[in-house]
Amino acid sequence: MLVPLDVRCLPDWNALAARIGYRAGAVTACLEVLGTNEALAAFRAWVMLEQGNSAEALRLATSALTSGHADVAWRVVASANATLHHSNWRGTFAETLTHLTGRQRGLCLTEYGYYLTMDNDNAAARSAYAEALPILNNDRYFLALLHYNIAIACHRLGQTSQAVHSAETAVRVARHPEAAPFAARAWSGLGMIQHNRLELQRALHSYCQAKIYSTETDDLVQAWRGHAATLRSQGQLDDALAQLFEALHYDARHVGILTDIALLKTQLGDHSGALELMNTFSSLVPAEEAQRLALVRLEHQRVAGKLETARAALANMDLRGSWVNEEQRSFSALFALIGQRAPPLLPMRVSVVTDGAVRVCIGDQPLASTPPRLAALLVCLIHHDQRLPMRQLTDLLTLPGSTPRQREQALSRAVTQLREYLGWDNAITAQHNVYALDRSVQWSLEYPSSPERFCAELSNPWIDDWREAHLEPLVF
């Protein structure tokens, strides 16, 4: 951005430019205007923190607590203490919050929640994020980020309904242009929760959306890894491995990707290849990935007949992480050595209640209220053995249009909207003028005990006929 010379010559220009860079998260732009001006030490501290030099950031920020930019300094002091794992970091955040108001307080609460999450205190993190919500309600980017963080915290706490709600809210908020840079992360968060709920078709759709919206390497890697993990859950191991090798193009030394590849190679029987790859990066792996990576060696030992060695090592592992069920399914013979078995991988279940207003659930999670035209289409397809020719559908449903062509176009639009509502593109397929529901999914209709309540809020010819056919005949 070109700034007029007379503006750059103003006495406060450097301070104003530094704050603009700070607020925009633009480290380089902020650094360019700092020079050796000690009055801007708070901003230099922030730059040091962003560049990973937390000790120097803490020193500079502490010296700037009485400056004109104390709000910046306090936030850096709190985050630097947490990053350096100082024992009093929570107390420092509590003190910092007493010095901040408005947006700065909301951002500090967001940072506090992040460090609480890293400390595995998800309940406290959720509270911090919730407190920040009304403060940052008009900042679409941070609003999306907060709902995403709440979704992750709730997921880890086992609060599934709230996790789904917050993840879907994050995706919805991220559709706003101001929050567009967060859209990829929001979609990946939703995909992760759907994957863990074994809504695999929906998870694949979410990760594909995350790829489309990704503009940063980290977001792309998260989306590719999530997509590959979901394919692995579906048993599509070669496709999953191909996805991971594609992800390596974006970050060739990403230990998470390399761990995923080593596990897949092991699952495919390439033990020597997996061990060889593992030895190139195992010293760099963080704790949770190290737990997963250890399975490569243990499975190799099991296959080699060293059952007791593998069993003893596995029995001593911390198997409480969210990754465990997937690895139990992938290495069932290994986990059988310690008597553990993963829950069965059941088809995704979509149930539709037709008593009064139509209600749709995926698993045990209800979807938002169903628009009448979409409800009528979904009930009609399930009721008629999950597939119908286009011409028959247009006859059965009440659709706008005075000509067959207009009604067919209206049906096509409704199908597209129903796919979006259900959450994956293949929920309804169209081939040879026949519409069919996804056969890999278990679809069910729950009929009311009183026929007159069947889809009571809908009026379509076939629904009216069904009610009439199932009513008890009047006896005079």
Could you give the 3-state DSSP secondary structure of residue 449?
coil
Q: Tokens 């809210």 identify what position?
A: 169
> Which two three-digit tokens encode residue 63?
């010296």
What pLDDT score was predicted for residue 5?
A: 44
**For residues 67 and 42, what is the distance between their CA atoms, to the nearest angstrom?**
8
pLDDT recorded at residue 457:
87
User: Can you give the pTM of this predicted structure?
Assistant: 0.88
CATH architecture of 349-470: Orthogonal Bundle (1.10)
Residue 366 CB-density burial (10 A; 0-12 exposed, 13-18 middle, 19+ buried): middle
Give the pLDDT score at 31: 75
H or E element: which one contains 17?
helix 13-24
Neighbours of 233 (CB within 10 A): 20
Amino acid at 291: Q
Between the alpha carbon of residue 382 and those of residues 316, 350, 372, 435, 446, the distances in Å are 49, 10, 16, 11, 11
Give the largest CA-CA distance in the chain.
99
Strand partners, 436: 387, 429
pLDDT at 10: 44
How buried is residue 465: exposed, middle or buried, by Cβ count under 10 Å (0-12/13-18/19+)?
A: exposed
The pLDDT tens digits along the chain (476 residues) read 444 444 444 446 567 777 777 777 777 877 777 766 777 888 888 888 999 899 999 999 999 998 878 999 999 999 999 999 999 999 999 999 999 999 999 999 999 999 999 998 999 999 999 999 999 999 999 999 999 999 999 999 989 889 999 999 999 999 999 999 999 999 999 999 999 999 999 999 999 999 999 999 999 999 999 999 999 999 999 999 999 999 999 998 899 999 999 999 999 999 999 999 999 998 888 877 898 999 999 999 999 999 999 999 999 998 887 889 899 999 999 999 999 988 888 899 999 999 999 999 999 899 988 899 999 999 999 999 999 999 999 999 988 888 989 999 999 999 999 999 999 999 999 999 999 999 999 999 999 989 889 999 888 888 888 888 887 654 44
Instruction: Residue 406: count other Cβ atoms within 10 Å of its Cβ.
Output: 13
Task: Give the β-pairing of 428-431 and 434-437.
Answer: antiparallel
- Per-residue pLDDT at 321: 79
Cα–Cα distance for residue pair 408/389, rounded to 1 Å? 11
Contacts of residue 317, Cβ cutoff 8 Å, sequence gap at least 6: 291, 294
Secondary structure element (H or E) that encloses residue 436, with its range = strand 434-437
